[in-house]
Chain A
Amino acid sequence: MQVNEFKPLIVAFCCNWCSYAGADLAGNNRLSYPADVKIIRVPCSCRVNPMFVLRAFQRGADGVIICGCHPGDCHYTSGNYYTRRRMTLLFSMLDYLGIEKERTRVEWVSAAEGAKFASTMNDFVSKITQLGKNKRLEDLRCKK
């Protein structure tokens, strides 16, 4: 049997009010998701400047996922609508440059959706594991 040694590094930006609470709920309910997911808590999904996503890749992430409240439910009313536009343009540009489109994702996860949080992360990690290491967006300037 071939053993896949590759463990991807995943950065998940989670908004404090929904998705971070969703991650908490997943934990409380003992739903497991891989430890390779590094959660960065942000006050709102729209705090995620497109540069944060690039920076994560630059520093060695293999996949980046942004999670926020469902459209219409943002704690600040409209933050995630801006996130949606920004990330649409960013993802489309990355795809245009030939970066694998599977490496970036946006998911809306509410505080009540612990199960969705866990399954989203499991799915994302398995997709990135199949894809392998991020070569196309790495930056040796920032590697230790």
Chain B
Amino acid sequence: MQKISRDKLIKKASNLLNSGIVRCVLGWKRGEFDYDITPNVFTTEKELIDDFVWNDFCGANLSKYLVSKTQGVDGKILVFLKPCDTYSFNQLLTEHRFDRERAYVIAVPCEGMADINKIKQITNEGISSIEFNEDTLSISTLYNEEPIKIAYDRVLSERCLNCKSKKHVVYDELLGDDGEILESNRFDEVEKIEKMSSEERFEFWQGELSRCIRCNACRDVCPACTCEKCVFDNPESGVENKASANSFEEKLFHIIRAYHVAGRCTDCGECSRVCPQNIPLHLLNRKFIKDINEFYGEFQAGEKIGMRSPLIDYTTDDIEPNEAVNRRDS
């Protein structure tokens, strides 16, 4: 369960709203189900009291919404950011996507977010309500008389199990205590794939990527994808539509998507979270991050404002492309 209470967040936001310091509040609201929580803009204290949500399903990273919400309106926007969200915030500022002065960042500590798919594997479909206890979730479903109790750590999302930082890299105000940058095992899965043979890798990715339905949700949610015009909407690109003849053709989309954010992806994990087909997109992003770390030195996008991405930088003795690929096999 999250340590900071919903009430505390509402109180903080209401004070800032009522005193006129901020014009509106970017937060989370319940969607159709208890677990389906969506970003929302609140403009009054009443709206906050009625609809604001802060719980283990507030995975949505709100930083990207600042790009559109700060445009054409006056005043500051309050935004709640979890530690990993603050990296995206910095990255967006690095790319001049909005004005720092327009945002009022409240840093919220995070205990990790739950993955609804892991929960459904235990309870099945038909979840009617969710209750949050100290170490467990009580899930009521249409098909069970008694609520099913599940320990949090069993249903923690993949990205939170491999959390890279509990520390907020930017904020105006911090609620509670800040955490530390963590040692994570986030490259373990990538290494496993690297160790496979070329055929095995091909099979593995064919299995994963063929499921893609080209909903473009991974692009839409990504805080590193904020171009107003996107290649995937261009009918001339050859990759704008769903492949029809061979489903693995979708790989081109995936290479292009991951490459477009290489050196800028903060590994926030939003793309994998929103994918309706549960495609492990983070394994593509992390491959780029891992290669960048290995070839050009440790780099964490969004750690500081104004950092130069490794792809718009070079040294005169960088590794040669073919050598880099061959080295892996030796």
Contact = CB atoms under 8 A, between A and B. Distances in A.
A106 B291 CA distance: 18
Contacts of B312: 82
Interface string A50-94: 110011001000000000000110000010011011111111111
Interface of A is mostly: helix
A85 B318 contact: yes
Given A84-B321, A87-B321, A95 B328 contact: yes
Interface stretch (A14-22, A29-37, A96-104, A111-119): A96-104
Contacts of B295: 85, 88
Query: What band does the interface of chain B fall in when counting residues whose beta carbon is under 8 Å from A?
Result: 35 or more
Interface stretch (B98-106, B111-119, B157-165, B239-247): B239-247
Question: Which of A87, A97, A100 has the largest number of chain B CB atoms within 10 A?
Answer: A97
Interface in B16-38: none
Contacts of B326: 101
A87 B314 CA distance: 13
B291 A90 contact: no
Nearest to B327: A92
A107 to B, nearest CB: 9
Contacts of B255: 54, 90, 93-94, 97
Given A95-B325, A96-B193, A136-B202, A89 B291 contact: yes
B137 to A, nearest CB: 36
A105 interface: yes
19 contacts: A50-B259, A55-B238, A81-B315, A82-B314, A84-B314, A84-B321, A85-B295, A85-B296, A85-B313, A87-B321, A88-B318, A88-B324, A90-B255, A90-B321, A93-B284, A96-B287, A98-B198, A98-B200, A98-B201
Given A50-B259, A84-B320, A93-B259, 15 more contacts: A81-B314, A82-B314, A84-B321, A87-B321, A88-B324, A89-B259, A91-B325, A97-B251, A98-B200, A98-B206, A99-B198, A137-B251, A139-B243, A139-B246, A141-B241
